[in-house]
Chain A
Amino acid sequence: MAAAESYPEDLRYHPEHDWARVDGDEAVLGITWFAADALGELVHFEPPTVGATIAKDQPYGEVESVKAVSDVIAPLSGEVLEVNATVVDAPETVNDDPYGNGWLVRIRLSDPSELEALLDLAAYQQVLADQ
């Protein structure tokens, strides 16, 4: 079951509809409800390899539905520590639980100062309103 629309308060957002949950020098990344809903039920996640370096504002993976494919944009730079195997096996987990079990990767931040450039909830909701 696809989740109902929601955007948690505790996340930081990227205008390309990605989120980051920061914990010390690590962060968990994913895509927002809006992105998951726009794509439709996901059928494939092409993840980066563990150990790869990803760069803020650059694609680090791909998500696919039946009729669409989209790059996943990194909200922050860092090294990939873990890929969510649940999503690789069952990509629809992203639709069901975009901010919980549907996270995509965990990274070690290479430049925590990048956080300042991300959007808070209010700013991201403004991005959505402008769509």
Chain B
Amino acid sequence: MTHPYLALTDSDREEMLTAVGVGSVEELFRDIPAGVRLGRELDLEPALSEHELSAHLGALAARNADTTRELSFLGAGIYDHYVPAVVDAVLQRGEFLTAYTPYQPEMSQGVLQAIFEYQTAICELTGMDVSNASGYDGTTVTADACYIAKHATGRTKVVVTAATNPQVRQVVKTYAPGFGLEVVEVAHRGGVTDVDELRAAADGAAAVILQQPNVFGCLEPAPELVAAANDAEALPIVHCDPLSLGVLEAPGRYGAAIALGEGQAAGNFPSYGGPHYGFLAARQDFIRRMPGRIVGEMVDAAGERGYVLTLQTREQHIRREKATSNITTNQTLLALGGLVYLTWLGPQGIRELGETCLSLAAYAKQQLRARAGLELVFPEQATFKEFAVRVGRNAREVVAAARERGVHPGYALGRDYEGMDDVLLVAVTEKRTPQEIDRLAEVLAEVTA
């Protein structure tokens, strides 16, 4: 029986083998030595039909407590923002979905122009001069930025604030030895980074990485921290939440060398951690050190505007061992989702979204204090859409108990930070209603009593 994803009939196969000049399909593989052949059938379960497959994966999906089944306040880097239907509609266009890298610009003006528009949107959000076409996620673009900093400064140390998301710090530490970089952490003081401590650590560093808002949801004194890094001639790298940038100042406006982050919140579903896109934008000085693809505008032989991959001599297929990165396949489709989403939001939408998040988070803080009697961990600090509360007992137990009541109350920070076993990180997106927040307060009151 011909497989649904294959097409050759018996007579096709005979004609083709004759044209090739071999007697059998088996003979096509005669260059493979007998000693390295499998010599048996693959030990896999039999092929499924499409409807059997559908039932099987449907059953697996049903075993997951996703955010449509559980009232979720989970964040810590991945957020349950609304993804509008226009994103799905555009991403399911086969011309985008099933194309590859636009190496042939005449076949790929659609995706090239879209990436150019994406680069523009990222530069507008971050206040930077140049954006690449995307990296894998918010963690790997941070490692990429360290590689830029190492080559730009010739220095061998990077500083990262302890209040930067632990996933990001772990990935930077995994990459650093290969880059010949040492990683130094600067502790937080009451939920934010101390400017003088950072200034001391930045001495002789290639880069200083900070997150705004930071992992606790707190707003760092980012302009002062960036200035301290610049004073030390270390590249300030600001890891930021793209959806905070309708209300928070663009890192480029307060002196960051590189602004980057996890794009998921802007236009991608949580999808159990991926695929998403990492955005990376920099000042003009670093354009020739950027990792990955960049699209440029130019004109064709008839004088019409068009778009091409540009500055490709930075990349692995040309510069090989001296390339600015080994990346080739990136996250274009997810970045396209980001562009569609940011277009859907527009400048007013992104500001309003930020304001709604701010208001709902402020309301949640009030309710958790008033109804559940919980204390904020860092009451002095301003926050954006996420904040840390003490729940008076092991937070993982609180999570388990609350989930039995249909509410996921947030991330147990004790998994990453010592002394925070009783701390819950609560994220509030625009999707949450005041009633849902009331429900959270009610459940936390029950399970922490």
Verify whether A and B have any Cβ pair under 8 Å: yes
Q: How far is the CA of A68 from the CA of B315 in the complex (A)?
A: 10
B interface, over-half SS: helix
Q: How far is the CA of A86 from the CA of B318 in the complex (A)?
A: 26
Q: Could you jot down 7 A-B contacts, CB within 8 Å?
A: A44-B288, A67-B312, A67-B313, A67-B318, A68-B313, A69-B318, A69-B319
Q: How far is the CA of A66 from the CA of B312 in the complex (A)?
A: 7
Within 8 A of A (CB), among B4-26: none
Q: How far is the CA of A129 from the CA of B319 in the complex (A)?
A: 27
* Nearest CB in chain B to that of A43: its residue: B313
**Is the C-beta of A96 less than 8 angstroms from some C-beta in chain B?**
no
Q: How far is the CA of A67 from the CA of B312 in the complex (A)?
A: 7
Question: What residues of A have a CB within 8 angstroms of the CB of B319 in the complex?
Answer: 69
Q: How many residues of B contact A (CB 8 A)?
A: 6
A71 CB to closest chain B CB (Å) equals 9
Question: What residues of B have a CB within 8 angstroms of the CB of A46 in the complex?
Answer: 288
Within 8 A of A (CB), among B251-295: 288
**Is the C-beta of A64 less than 8 angstroms from some C-beta in chain B?**
yes
Question: What residues of B have a CB within 8 angstroms of the CB of A65 in the complex?
Answer: 313
List 13 additional contacts besides A44-B313, A46-B288, A66-B313; criterion CB under 8 Å.
A44-B288, A64-B313, A65-B313, A66-B312, A67-B312, A67-B313, A67-B318, A68-B313, A68-B318, A69-B313, A69-B318, A69-B319, A69-B322
The interface of chain B, by Cβ under 8 A from chain A, is 288, 312-313, 318-319, 322
A127 CB to closest chain B CB (Å) equals 24
Q: How far is the CA of A67 from the CA of B313 in the complex (A)?
A: 6
Q: How far is the CA of A38 from the CA of B318 in the complex (A)?
A: 15
A78 CB to closest chain B CB (Å) equals 22
Q: How far is the CA of A128 from the CA of B38 in the complex (A)?
A: 50
Q: How far is the CA of A68 from the CA of B322 in the complex (A)?
A: 13
A45 CB to closest chain B CB (Å) equals 12
Within 8 A of B (CB), among A69-83: 69
* Nearest CB in chain A to that of B314: its residue: A69
B198 CB to closest chain A CB (Å) equals 30
Which of A44, A46, A64, A65 gathers most chain B CB within 10 Å?
A: A64
Q: How far is the CA of A69 from the CA of B313 in the complex (A)?
A: 6
Question: What residues of A have a CB within 8 angstroms of the CB of B312 in the complex?
Answer: 66-67
* Nearest CB in chain A to that of B320: its residue: A69
Q: How far is the CA of A83 from the CA of B166 in the complex (A)?
A: 46
Question: What residues of A have a CB within 8 angstroms of the CB of B313 in the complex?
Answer: 44, 64-69
Question: What residues of B have a CB within 8 angstroms of the CB of A64 in the complex?
Answer: 313
| 3 smallest beta-carbon distances between A and B, as pairs | A69-B313, A64-B313, A69-B319
B16 CB to closest chain A CB (Å) equals 36
Q: How far is the CA of A65 from the CA of B322 in the complex (A)?
A: 16
Question: What residues of A have a CB within 8 angstroms of the CB of B288 in the complex?
Answer: 44, 46
Q: How far is the CA of A64 from the CA of B414 in the complex (A)?
A: 51
Contact with B along A48-71 (1 / 0, CB 8 A): 000000000000000011111100
B319 CB to closest chain A CB (Å) equals 6
* Nearest CB in chain B to that of A63: its residue: B313
A42 CB to closest chain B CB (Å) equals 11
Q: How far is the CA of A66 from the CA of B313 in the complex (A)?
A: 7
* Nearest CB in chain B to that of A69: its residue: B313
Question: What residues of B have a CB within 8 angstroms of the CB of A69 in the complex?
Answer: 313, 318-319, 322
Question: What residues of B have a CB within 8 angstroms of the CB of A66 in the complex?
Answer: 312-313
Q: How far is the CA of A64 from the CA of B313 in the complex (A)?
A: 7
B405 CB to closest chain A CB (Å) equals 61
Question: What residues of B have a CB within 8 angstroms of the CB of A44 in the complex?
Answer: 288, 313
Q: How far is the CA of A9 from the CA of B28 in the complex (A)?
A: 57
B144 CB to closest chain A CB (Å) equals 20
